[in-house]
Amino acid sequence: MDQPLRVGVIGVGNMGLNHARVYSELPEAQLCAVADFDAERAEQVAARFGARAYTNYRVMFAEQRLDAVTIAVPTRAHLAMALDALAAGIHILVEKPLAATVKEAEEIVQAAQRAQRTLAVGHIERFNPAVRELKRLMDANALGAISTVIARRVGIMPPQVRDANVIIDLAVHDIDVLNFIFGELPTFVSATAGNALLEKRYDHAEIFLRYQNAGCFVQVNWITPLKIRTLSVTGDAGHAELNYVTQKLELYETTLERAYDNFGDFVVRFGQAQRVSVPVQVYEPLRAELQDFLRAIQLKTLPTVTGADGVNALRVAALVLEHAA
């Protein structure tokens, strides 16, 4: 077995804390250090997982000889920290979105290529087992030709999100999932967005994307008091309902009869839909994501979510913003 990779985490708020936790549990990783501008938080997380605490990530780089690092800080800081890590020869996993702008995201990708370091992007829904099973069913044509997709990702605003709007921070999840399940970028983008509670940032958006012949509606907001994370896919052979949180996937098989009525007109008759609960092996997507990142480093292969994937998700999100303005 290869020696565990020496890893660190920059930013140990909600998501970074979980990265530190999972790294500490993985045999292929040794969590060496965490960095956060909040010294007390850094010390608490470091003590909890047996790591060193830093308030300056550059000092952490200099002292710890890290192989890899997760960057889980506010989006506006991704570019500078990613470039510093790559310059230090460190492989990076950058939480989504990859950067604040498409230009900055492309700069990170180019820097990773020059440094010959692994760059993974934290689009965690790619590792949700229900999403992966849905993708398998769609590739096997179990739903037939897809006509409609409806994604809902709504709830109250996370207090740690202070520099991003709901499109860049939240809708980018569903944009990446749609890019993934269709295997391409949308050919049409339209959107509306508004400010219900926030003054300067969009806190709700209604987005329409077209992939192949499928119309895809994405609803995102930070104003619904109930957390909803669902995806519905309708094809001419069936319908699928996915819950991201419970990792539950249900398939409704279309039963129809094509015939002619007494007047010679063509008719389609639907029978009772057959519901099938699709077996899904439940596991923590973050654990799978970090294992994939570490494996890509060790085997010198591409991670599941590449820098190019991160740029593409951000590029579509930027188009959505243009249409929503």
What does residue 311 show for φ and ψ, rounded to 5 degrees?
-65, -45
Contact between 110 and 79 under an 8 Å Cβ cutoff? The reply is no
Interstrand relation of 266-270 and 256-260 (parallel, antiparallel or unpaired): antiparallel
Higher pLDDT, 256 or 25: 25
Report d(CA 97, CA 74) in Å as an integer: 10
Chain centroid offset of residue 214 CA: 21
Give the dihedral sign, CA 313/318/319/321.
positive
The size of the chain, in residues, is 325
DSSP SS3 for 258: strand
Give residue 197's pLDDT: 87
Residue bearing tokens 């965690």 = 124
Residues contacting 286, CB < 8 A, separation 6+? 18, 19, 22, 124, 127
In the predicted structure, residue 264 carries a pLDDT above the cut 70: no
Higher pLDDT, 32 or 14: 32
Peptide bond into 225 cis (omega under 30): no
In the predicted structure, residue 147 carries a pLDDT above the cut 90: yes
Per-residue pLDDT of 200-242, as tens digits, reads: 899 999 999 999 999 999 999 999 999 999 999 999 999 999 9
Cα dihedral 248, 205, 317, 78, rounded to 10, equals: -90
| Structure tokens, 175 | 């944009």
State the CATH architecture for 126-283+314-324: 2-Layer Sandwich (3.30)
Report d(CA 210, CA 186) in Å as an integer: 5
In the predicted structure, residue 269 carries a pLDDT above the cut 70: no
Residues contacting 291, CB < 8 A, separation 6+? 26, 28
Q: Could you tell me what percent of the chain has a pLDDT over 70?
A: 92
Residues contacting 209, CB < 8 A, separation 6+? 175, 178, 186, 188, 189, 190, 215, 216, 218, 316
Q: Which residues of 107-127 are buried (b: 16+ CB within 10 A; e: fewer)?
A: ebbebbeebebbbbbbbbbbb
CA distances from 11 to 34, 37, 202 (A): 7, 8, 25
In the predicted structure, residue 271 carries a pLDDT above the cut 70: no
Task: Name the residue ranges covered by the structural domains of the chain.
Answer: 5-123+287-305, 126-283+314-324
CATH, domain range 5-123+287-305:
3.40.50.720
What is the pTM (predicted TM-score) of this model? 0.92
Report d(CA 92, CA 221) in Å as an integer: 29
Q: Which of 140-144, 158-162, 200-204, 229-233 has the lowest mean pLDDT?
A: 158-162
Report d(CA 111, CA 119) in Å as an integer: 10
| pLDDT band, very low/low/confident/very high, at 168 (cuts 50, 70, 90) | very high
Q: Which of 102-111, 195-204, 225-234, 315-324 has the lowest mean pLDDT?
A: 195-204
| Mean pLDDT of the 78-94 span | 98
What does residue 70 show for φ and ψ, rounded to 5 degrees?
-95, 135
Tell me the pLDDT of the chain averaged across its residues. 93
